[in-house]
């Protein structure tokens, strides 16, 4: 009888140990390597779809500088939620949009990531992105827009985002399986 109790106890302790190791591994992974993300809404369509499930890299946010057109995950403290957007303007730049053209420091910048067929289908009177008056960003500010410009709450709504609000960048879509791949 003592052997049975000891065997049961050993099994329980082994299970609890594995459970603790699993929790620690998941915690370390999601706080230092990659953040799990679920896309909500269509603000990044067609690049990202509603309900896409992904991992966003935490490592390369620390190792590399944020670049124009990176896809980033941003924390909105006033709503206690995370959103996914694209970096359009970098610190200390003056950006504007005029007649669907992105203008950075007076120069037109091509937005090759936008799907031309989708832009055409969603344009209102030939305009996909309504004009944005010139705005000069501070030394810690980024201007972020959704790829689905007519249907995105982004810097046009929230204003510039601070570097501290950007929690990760680049996404690896893991579900649905038909969309597996990196989006950056």
Which residues are identified as catalytic?
43, 85
**Residues 6 or more apart in contact with residue 7 via CB below 8 angstroms:** none
DSSP count for the chain of H helices, then E strands: 4, 12
Please give the Cα distance from 147 to 129 (Å, whole number): 10
**Residues 6 or more apart in contact with residue 32 via CB below 8 angstroms:** 58, 59
CB atoms within 10 A of CB 170: 20
Please give the Cα distance from 28 to 5 (Å, whole number): 35
Residues 88 and 66: beta-carbon distance below 8 Å: no
Which residue from 134, 184, 135, 133 is spatially nearest to 160, judged by alpha carbons? 135
């Amino acid at each position: 009888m003592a052997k049975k109790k000891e065997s049961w106890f050993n099994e329980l302790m082994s299970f609890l140990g594995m459970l603790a190791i699993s929790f620690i591994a998941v915690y370390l992974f999601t706080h230092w390597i990659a953040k799990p993300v679920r896309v909500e809404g269509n603000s990044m369509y067609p690049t990202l779809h509603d309900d896409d499930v992904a991992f966003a890299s935490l490592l390369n946010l620390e190792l590399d500088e944020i670049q124009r057109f990176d896809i980033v995950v941003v924390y909105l403290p006033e709503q206690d939620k995370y959103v996914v957007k694209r970096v359009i303007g970098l610190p200390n730049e003056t950006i504007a949009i005029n007649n669907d053209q992105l203008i950075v420091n007076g120069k037109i910048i091509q937005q090759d990531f936008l799907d031309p067929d989708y832009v055409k289908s969603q344009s209102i009177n030939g305009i996909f992105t309504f004009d944005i008056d010139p705005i000069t960003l501070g030394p810690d500010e980024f201007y972020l827009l959704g790829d689905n410009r007519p249907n995105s709450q982004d810097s046009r709504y929230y204003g510039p985002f601070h570097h501290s609000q950007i929690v990760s960048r680049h996404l690896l879509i893991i579900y649905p399986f038909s969309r597996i791949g990196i989006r950056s």
